[in-house]
A and B are shown apart, each in its own frame.
Chain A
Amino acid sequence: MSGIEEGTSLDGEPGNAGRREGASRTTAPAYTTSSGIPLSAHYGPGDVPDDHWLKVTAPPGQAPFTRGAYPEMYRSKPWRIFQLSGFGNPEDERERIRFLLEHGETGFLMEHDRMTADHLYDVDHPEVVARRDDVGLTGAVILSVDDYETVLDGIDIASTYAHAGGAVVQHAPFANACYWTVARRRGIDLRRLAGTGQSDFNLTYLGCINKVQVPPRDGLRFNLDLIEHCTRYLPKWVPVSIAAYNAADTGLNAFEELGALMANAAEYLDGIRQRSKLEVADVAHGVGGVNLRTSMDFFEDIAKLRAARSMWERLLRERYGVTDERARRLRIHVVTAGSAMTYSQPLNNIARGTLMGLAAVLGGAQSLGVSGYDEAITIPSEHAHQMSVRIQQILAHEANLTAVADPLGGSWLVESLTAQLEERAWEFFELIQREGGYVATLDSGWLHQRASAGASLAMDQVENGDRILVGVNAYQDDVSPFEVEGFEGTTDAWDRAMTRLAALRRERDSRAAASALRTLEGACRSEVNIMGPMLDAVEARVTVGEIGDVFRTVFGNWDVPIVF
């Protein structure tokens, strides 16, 4: 039961204040960005602060990287076409990944079942059995390393960049360990294995809160363990990737998204510094692969990516004294806003996906996922997935967008917005520090209140017509309605996983599995890095639910600060 009495209701002041502010706009439309930065009718040189001009005299590829991560940008490094994929059985996930790679995807992201993966439950756990229809709807069911073998069968992981799953913090150590184990068994040198984990706090503790999960302080320890382990043994692997996207799609505005990103990074890097086993400079590259959202404020989103690089460079230089310029370079994966995709007139979402993707490209993203046109209706069908790839290919090949880096550099508007976002984002960063730091704002519910206020404001703007959404609150007529079939994946994922689970428990060396779990529990209770024992446990074919049992025993459950 998610505490009816406990926690803070989200009906607090910030939201109500937002509502009144939103409502007042019906009479006099104010021209602002979506985060509320006022917009003039035109811009000129006087709108860009001098210190900002100084910053952007540095060309792309040079600190502070406002103008791009690399000197030649897409000439030398095309952005990676990188779409989230996964549902049903391990075989279903594999077929969809292969389908996307055949259609031009240049990396793949694995999405695993929310109940079994995110909650670390086996399929026979009562909470899962009670919802067995839902198993496999939003990601493949992965019980053990055996299922990772099935998903990755026939996929060249030595040369294809992958996201190994493990978006949720408590799932990440297991997900990464399974992927690395498959790679090691194939004889791939892990020092050369390129790819990314995620283990995102904004998803786990802000936007999508599990019913049961380790508290943020213990999640932080997992992430520091991952960072340490990868820095030593997998230098080309991004150990954790902060997905500010999830903060934005929960309701934080553009500068709040940036401020939260930096505060989240500071929490990780402070932790590394306190452990004093590694220098911040050693881990900076690994932690510098992040994820941001573009949505439907074109110029603000472009400015946001530029400001993110500049802020990152400053954070590492000023707060941590990182002298190597390359270690202060931020790489950005962009996901276009799922929340911008509409249920009605779904083909309109192809135009939205194109605009949001274009903003990512003009902002200098290193990789991109475009939400499916059926995002508001279902998990992506093959066709919607293919369209997301095609949109990216049209941007990459047809519109002559890739020849020149930072094509909007020097635009008075874009430079002005970049400078203003950066200034406001640092203020938000300081606000979070005053609240005790990023993790403290998750434990207290402060960040949830901010996101909730932003989400309510956005909803009110649509509700009262201040913001037009085509096909939703305006232009609802449709001469020839295009009905999305509503892809729902496979319906046998729970049954087949139950069969696999029984076989696994019968076939494996149960004493080896039990012993590996005891060693893992010992590591959890000590200061030993959990990744070594986790890899041993994965090799002993432990299940996702057995890992969960260890974590629940040692760490307990997070006391969620909000009611929903």
Chain B
Amino acid sequence: MSDEPARILMAKTSLDGHWRGVTIVERALREAHFEVIALGMATAEEIVRAAVDEEVDLVGLNLGGRSAVVERIVAELRAQGSDVPVMVGGVITPQTKKRLESSGIAVFPPGSSLEDIVATARRLCEHSAEMKQEAQ
């Protein structure tokens, strides 16, 4: 990896403005020396655009609603040629968690440890950087 800190886009997919959980995660990521772009409540289209424009290494989604939006975002990112990995946190049913994990998305339900989230973010960003290098 280069000396530049890895960049993570964080966004809330629904119009639910509870910020306690997402800001705790953002803080932990910043303390672990990631550059965090906090997009707040955004539509799938806005999230995809920001992820592509900002060339981020990871997209973190805070779900406050249903989960189909996650697959929509991933599909649109891939359609635009972005391989950026996605992780998801929030109130998620066990079935949804399994479904998302089976398509390679890291899922963090309530009670997840910050250590795990940061470690996963690091692994995904490193993978992301390798992919970028290969592409060059």
A-to-B contact residues, CB < 8 Å: 1-4, 9-11, 15, 114-115, 118-119, 127-128, 130-131, 133-134, 137-138, 207-211, 249-251, 339, 342-344, 376-378, 451-452, 455-456, 459, 463, 469, 472-473, 483-486, 488, 562-564
Contacts and interface: CB of A to CB of B under 8 A. Distances in A.
Contact of A250 (B13, B20, B46, B114): B20
10 residue pairs, one from A and one from B, having the closest CB atoms: A486-B93, A2-B40, A134-B65, A564-B19, A209-B17, A130-B43, A376-B110, A133-B66, A343-B110, A343-B109
Interface string B7-41: 00000111111111011101100100000011111
A207 B94 contact: no
Interface string B99-122: 000000000011101110000000
Contacts of A211: 15, 17, 40-41
Interface residues of B, number: 42
Nearest to B18: A208
Contacts, number: 132
19 contacts: A1-B46, A2-B42, A10-B23, A15-B27, A114-B14, A127-B43, A137-B66, A207-B20, A251-B20, A342-B110, A342-B111, A343-B109, A378-B91, A452-B23, A455-B23, A459-B24, A484-B93, A488-B66, A562-B23
B44 interface: yes
Contacts of A378: 91, 93
B130 interface: no
Contacts of B66: 133-134, 137, 488
Contacts of A115: 14-15
A210 B40 CA distance: 11
Contacts of A459: 24, 114
A131 to B, nearest CB: 6
B110 to A, nearest CB: 4
A563 B38 contact: yes
B80 interface: no
B98 to A, nearest CB: 10
B38 A564 contact: yes
Contacts of B15: 114-115, 118-119, 127-128, 131, 134, 210-211
The CB with the most chain B CB atoms within 10 A, among A15, A128, A130, A562, is that of: A130
